[in-house]
Amino acid sequence: MSRPKTVYVCRDCGYKASRWMGRCPGCDEWNSLEEQRDVHGKAQSWAVQPNAAQAITAIEAAATRRASTGVDEFDRVLGGGVVPGSLVLVGGDPGVGKSTLLLQVSHQWAAQFGTVLYISGEESPQQLKLRAERLNALHPRLLILSETDMGQILAQIRQNLPQFVVVDSIQTVFSAELASAPGSVSQVRDAAASFLALAKSTGTSIVLVGHVTKAGALAGPRVLEHMVDVVCYFEGDPNTQLRILRAVKNRFGSTNEVGIFQMGQGGLAGIPDPSSVFLAGRPRLVPGSVVFPSCEGSRILLVELQALVTPAPFGGPPRRLASGIDYNRMCMLLAVLEKRRGLGLHSHDVYCNVAGGLRIAEPAADLGIALAVASSFRNQAPVEGLVAFGEVGLAGEVRGIARVEARIKEGIRLGFNRFLLPRTESQDLKKLAGEGISLLEAASLEEALELALP
């Protein structure tokens, strides 16, 4: 026998739900669902149908509703906004700006929609107030709670019924019922499971902040990745102002999306034209520097790939260093250059870098990296106005990649006029050429180097 369930009815549109939700699925009104009671004051119940399997074609699809927070780069990473009832994990190194970002998002939410509860286990209400003043993020519907005890936190959530909750950080929350220390794997998992149940049963959107920690006694955000709906990491060198929010898992959208921010006096501000920021300060006509159009989610970002090749000290093994690109991929490209093009890299140190702190995982960067290395090795700058992209195979062939047209267009927008790209039959790029734009198509690394380093 299944237990009878209480009915919740929307006071605005009459929508009936079997559980309480923060937002009515019928009319999108917040906090409008009320438990229905009969004349004797007893909660009414539904004659519950036992849960049964059903044909996938018979299920009515509901469009995912999203609340756009107004922090555009944050919304972009989540796939267009916060989904009601979702559990989002924001990980990152200490000091990168997680608390700043979420305080700004909380303020925007409070100003637009309703009650927000920002729970901090790390800072006092006074500290948070000071920060919010700096960020111009004060609002009466933004509630602050300095608490680490799970029982107290849940009680406060039940009392205030917030629509949006930030837990900063999940590692500080502990349950008195568990014997293990706060921050241990079992505590962190238990706390996250409680927040998950809360989000799903009430429709509250919850963001958990997690510090990335080195392997050890403390549990990092990795142990939670499978439990939450969205995982994003906030990256950036605290010594620079650039910050990148990157989704690595998203049940409601694409995972490649990145949000790009600049940390300033007034907190984090989205960067509307990231390519120009990544290319700012780029040296012109210098050996070892190649511009690559990187595909980040729905956007193309132009970045500078740099290589420095110097003779290795006699007798010692050559040094290889990769920053922003995969080390093994770089080694493979060095081997291809050595074997197919005869570059004597075995006796040289090679350093590769992506300027601006972006990390690139696309094989499309291969051609740019190989070209930067060859350019530095020969001490010859690539032809002017050049953008290069294409995958390089072990035989030295240049292979086709996705979104060629979009990459070329972004390059043209930023004033580049030569495009070194894979030669493939299928694409028709003729319409892009002309007006001083030249498409340098290459089928092999040999051809590519001849075109770019004549």
Q: How far apart are the first and last CA of the chain?
A: 80
Which residues, including other chains, have CB under 8 Å from residue 265's CB and lie 6 or more apart?
134
Of 14 and 94, which CB lies nearer to ligand TYD in the complex structure?
Answer: 94
Of 212 and 223, which CB lies nearer to ligand TYD in the complex structure?
Answer: 212
Burial class (CB in 10 A: 0-12, 13-18, 19+), 67: buried
The minimum distance between CB 219 and Mg ion, in angstroms, equals 17
Distance CA 117, CA 145 (A): 7
Q: Is 99 in the site for ligand TYD (CB under 6 A)?
A: yes
Distance CA 73, CA 239 (A): 21
Of 77 and 369, which CB lies nearer to ligand TYD in the complex structure?
Answer: 77
Q: Is 134 in the site for ligand TYD (CB under 6 A)?
A: yes
Binding mask 220-239 for ligand TYD (x = CB under 6 A): --------------------
DSSP track, 354-399:
ETTS-----GGGHHHHHHHHHHHHHT-PPPTTEEE--EE-TTSBEE
Token couple for 270: 């989205």
Contact region with Mg ion (CB under 5 A), list: 44-52, 93-101, 138-146, 274-282: 93-101
The minimum distance between CB 103 and ligand TYD, in angstroms, equals 8
CA 192, 194, 197, 200 torsion-angle sign: negative
Q: Is 98 in the site for ligand TYD (CB under 6 A)?
A: yes
Q: Is 413 in the site for ligand TYD (CB under 6 A)?
A: no
Of 93 and 446, which CB lies nearer to ligand TYD in the complex structure?
Answer: 93
Q: Is 95 in the site for ligand TYD (CB under 6 A)?
A: yes
Cite the DSSP H helix spans in 142-240.
150-160, 185-202
Contact region with ligand TYD (CB under 6 A), list: 96-104, 288-296, 314-322, 425-433: 96-104
Q: Answer whether the bond into residue 169 is a cis peptide, omega within 30°.
A: yes
Selection from Mg ion, ligand TYD, none that 267 binds (CB < 5 to 8 A by kind) is ligand TYD
Within 54-93, the residues that bind ligand TYD by CB under 6 A are 92
Q: Is 289 in the site for Mg ion (CB under 5 A)?
A: no
Size of the site for ligand TYD (CB under 6 A): 15
Of 42 and 214, which CB lies nearer to ligand TYD in the complex structure?
Answer: 214
Q: Is 94 in the site for ligand TYD (CB under 6 A)?
A: yes
Distance CA 192, CA 195 (A): 5
Q: Is 131 in the site for ligand TYD (CB under 6 A)?
A: yes
The minimum distance between CB 262 and ligand TYD, in angstroms, equals 10
* 3-state SS string for 234-270: EECCCCCCEEEEEEEEECCCCCCCEEEEEEECCEEEE
Selection from Mg ion, ligand TYD, none that 57 binds (CB < 5 to 8 A by kind) is none
SS3 228: coil
Could you say which of 97, 221, 259, 390 contacts ligand TYD (CB under 6 A)?
Answer: 97
Could you say which of 99, 108, 115, 205 contacts Mg ion (CB under 5 A)?
Answer: 99
Within 266-285, the residues that bind ligand TYD by CB under 6 A are 266-267
Of 99 and 163, which CB lies nearer to Mg ion in the complex structure?
Answer: 99
* CA nearest neighbour of 443 among 383, 381, 384, 400: 400
Backbone angles phi, psi at 89, to 5 degrees: -110, 125
Binding mask 299-318 for Mg ion (x = CB under 5 A): --------------------
Q: Can you state the angle between helices 445-452 and 366-378, rounded to 10 degrees?
A: 60
In this structure, how many other beta carbons lie within 10 angstroms of the beta carbon of residue 240? 11
Which residues, including other chains, have CB under 8 Å from residue 42's CB and lie 6 or more apart?
none
Could you say which of 32, 100, 115, 353 contacts ligand TYD (CB under 6 A)?
Answer: 100
Selection from ligand TYD, Mg ion, none that 250 binds (CB < 5 to 8 A by kind) is none
Token couple for 439: 């498409």
Contact region with ligand TYD (CB under 6 A), list: 22-30, 109-117, 261-269, 300-308: 261-269
**Residues 246/258, Cβ–Cβ less than 8 Å:** yes
The minimum distance between CB 102 and Mg ion, in angstroms, equals 8
* CA nearest neighbour of 145 among 175, 174, 115, 120: 120
Of 166 and 386, which CB lies nearer to ligand TYD in the complex structure?
Answer: 166
Q: Is 263 in the site for ligand TYD (CB under 6 A)?
A: yes
Within 357-416, the residues that bind Mg ion by CB under 5 A are none
What is the Cα gyration radius of the chain?
27
The minimum distance between CB 95 and Mg ion, in angstroms, equals 8
Size of the site for Mg ion (CB under 5 A): 1
Burial class (CB in 10 A: 0-12, 13-18, 19+), 419: buried
Look up tokens 């906004």; give the residue: 81
Q: Is 399 in the site for ligand TYD (CB under 6 A)?
A: no
Binding site for ligand TYD (CB under 6 A): 92, 94-100, 131, 134-135, 263, 265-267
Binding site for Mg ion (CB under 5 A): 99
